[in-house]
Structure 1
Amino acid sequence: MRRPCWASPSRSPVPARILPPTPEAIVEAAALLRAGQPIGMPTETVYGLAADASSAEAVARIFAAKGRPNDHPVIVHVAEGDDLSHWAVRVPAAARKLMAAFWPGPLTLILPRATGVLDAVTGGQDTVGVRCPAHPVAQALLKAFGGGLAAPSANRFGRVSPTTAQHVADEFDTGVPVVLDGGACGVGIESTIVDVSSEIPILLRPGHISPVELSAVLGTVVLTRAEMDARRDVPRVSGSLSAHYAPRTPLRLAGGAELRAEIAAATARGQEVGVWSVRDPGGAAAWIEAPAEPARYAQALYATLRAFDGKGLDLLIFEQPPAGPEWTAVRDRLDRAAVGSGA
């Protein structure tokens, strides 16, 4: 069977060019997108691997580059003020309230899909995820391109998400010609995802925008996936697999009282251990101080995982964050990273 041109083994790897977000670079990136190529795009959450969401071939290039399962939906990113009728057959009142409060920003809304939206974008479902990012470079690119961009995180499927342009370039040695450098991501973890396609809003992925903030805007309690699964099926969304965001180095989570015992046991087995904790517990081959505030912790999480992966360690032990609701999104990412690492 003939391979598609983007998967040809005869083509030598060409590293992605990291470009400052000048007007000329934005124009070049938009031209590449119109030609069906994927590019690295900064957002306030994580860097995305962006491609024309209306082109089946362009979306296929994202899936091929990431090694992403074909039934896994991607999020469509739109410019501020865009008409959503191309993507959603209707925008419910709950969605409009959330858009007014949090767009542009780190919030993805699951809406009933419009006719013509690609199955590759929706994972074959009757809903579509849409987000309006707050990052100025993302907005400039969306406006220059003039359409919606499918932009899952710019990393190999299931691995640690990128929060700098260099992370994206390190991840892909071919297939991504340009990465726009928008600096380190301010939020650092993926967007909050809320299903507003039916009468009951459902939180499908926690993120920077908390359930308390969502409920305050909507005037009703926002239920979680776990609370709704027993009542009806909910849409599949990005980042909902039990194993995700995983480093190459095995990762374990330990409560404060267990941390030193875990380090001692690993060291006794002859393992070189890296530790992320608020205070240095001693005994580790490498220790990085963890922020004690949830937003700063989230912003540093993926960069820390990548930094530890570069140290050639045998095991990572991260201190389990507190159980409070403000830590829900961080705990979600850590739990999935630990499962995905196979520790």
Structure 2
Amino acid sequence: METLILKPTDIEKAAAFIQEGELVAFQTETVYGLGADATNDEAVKKIYQAKGRPSDNPLIVHIANKEQVTDYVTHIPNKAEQLMDVFWPGPLTIIMELKEGTLAPTVTAGLDSVGIRMPDSPSALRLIERSGKPLAAPSANTSGKPSPTTAQHVFHDLKGKVAAIVDDGETGVGLESTVLDLTEPEKPTILRPGGVSKEQLEQVIGPVFLDQHLVEESETPRAPGMKYTHYSPEEPVYVVAEDGRGWEHALKIFRERGEKIGLLASEELIAKYGKEAAAVYSLGPKENVREASRLLYSGLRYFETTEATVILAESYAELDIGQAFMNRLEKAAGKKYI
């Protein structure tokens, strides 16, 4: 299959592919998504095939306006209404009870709930509107690898596996959406931290819980990113802990092993230790964790183009979006700390 690179002005062509049951990658404010008609089971199955994604990993459904939610859920909790008013369009996915028979069975992996969001990207919203379909859309990458934040990342992973990629530039948030489970409205629970922080949610609806549960192999995860290894580049990643033995110790360990070190860190830390690394990628000023989050996946992918054989990554405080940043970095590292 030839994969076309389309411009945002080519949305009609992209929408036609969706209507024909093909896959189209598109930009959102978080990462690039791999879209298919969420009501067409054969089309949705192509997502799993293209990504090499486990079939028990549910997909998020993307819509173009808040009114569409009633088409796919049994009811909208009051807290969901409040959050939609504040954060939609935006990087927040809300899980609600599924209205039976409205979506392709493969979308929800057999669950009786569905995660829905309205992306904050004009080209994504136009694609959904022009196709006339809700879009099931995980990140447009090979399953387990760092999520794509540019069309070039998508082309690298999925060339020949998707009909088209709508290139609308680099994404703005750089990490996936927050996934909030509201199937029990009195216990709103974050299943995956993301672009909207726990603190931001609590300002609107009060106390929010953070799920620490590790899904067993026999269970179906209620949200993407809960069960399987994610976001990993080819090179092993180690997180250098703030309260650990320090960067001098970490660098010494891998130099003695003969490794070529890739340094994924703030500009301040690179200024201090960059000369000791084979390759460096700056996450920006240390105090700007949102910039670090935007750059994380690009950084993890960058080292695949260098001679680095191992990546040492700087840890950040788990405040605001820092919680999502560390969630993704720990998964990329397989929770390996130095």
Relative to the length of structure 2, the TM-score reads 0.91
Match for 1:312: what amino acid?
E
Q: Are residue 154 (structure 1) and residue 140 (structure 2) matched?
A: yes
Deviation of residue 170 (structure 1)? 0.8
2:327 corresponds to? 332
2:200 corresponds to? 213
1:62 corresponds to? 47
Structure 1 stretches of at least 4 aligned residues deviating more than 4 Å after TM superposition: 340-343
Could you tell me whether the CA contact under 8 Å between 2:194 and 2:321 is conserved in 1? Answer: no
Deviation of residue 312 (structure 1)? 3.3
Alignment root-mean-square deviation, CA = 2.1
Deviation of residue 86 (structure 1)? 2.2
Distance 1:316 1:161 in 2: 17
Unpaired runs of at least 5, structure 1 = 1-12
Greater CA deviation, 203-212 or 233-242? Answer: 233-242
Task: Call closer, same or farther: CA 1:235–1:272 in 2, change over 3 Å.
Answer: closer
1:76 corresponds to? 61
Match for 1:134: what amino acid?
D
Deviation of residue 173 (structure 1)? 2.5
Deviation of residue 341 (structure 1)? 9.2
Distance 2:18 2:311 in 1: 38
**SS at 1:296's partner residue?**
helix
**SS at 1:226's partner residue?**
coil
2:314 to 310, 313, 319: 319
Unpaired runs of at least 5, structure 2 = none
Q: Deviations over 1:155-176 (max 9, x none)?
A: 1111110000111011113121
Identical columns (%): 36
Q: Are residue 263 (structure 1) and residue 256 (structure 2) matched?
A: no
Distance 2:233 2:92 in 1: 25
Q: Are residue 166 (structure 1) and residue 132 (structure 2) matched?
A: no
2:166 corresponds to? 180
Q: Are residue 27 (structure 1) and residue 12 (structure 2) matched?
A: yes
Match for 2:327: what amino acid?
D
Q: Are residue 194 (structure 1) and residue 189 (structure 2) matched?
A: no
**SS at 2:155's partner residue?**
helix
Deviation of residue 235 (structure 1)? 5.7
Distance 1:84 1:336 in 2: 31
Deviation of residue 269 (structure 1)? 1.2
2:24 to 24, 30, 39: 39
Distance 1:47 1:228 in 2: 26
Distance 2:281 2:214 in 1: 38
Deviation of residue 287 (structure 1)? 1.8
Task: Call closer, same or farther: CA 1:67–1:53 in 2, change over 3 Å.
Answer: same
Distance 2:64 2:139 in 1: 18
Distance 2:137 2:229 in 1: 20
**SS at 1:115's partner residue?**
coil
**SS at 2:180's partner residue?**
strand
Deviation of residue 288 (structure 1)? 2.2
Relative to the length of structure 1, the TM-score reads 0.90
**SS at 1:83's partner residue?**
helix
Could you tell me whether the CA contact under 8 Å between 2:7 and 2:168 is conserved in 1? Answer: yes
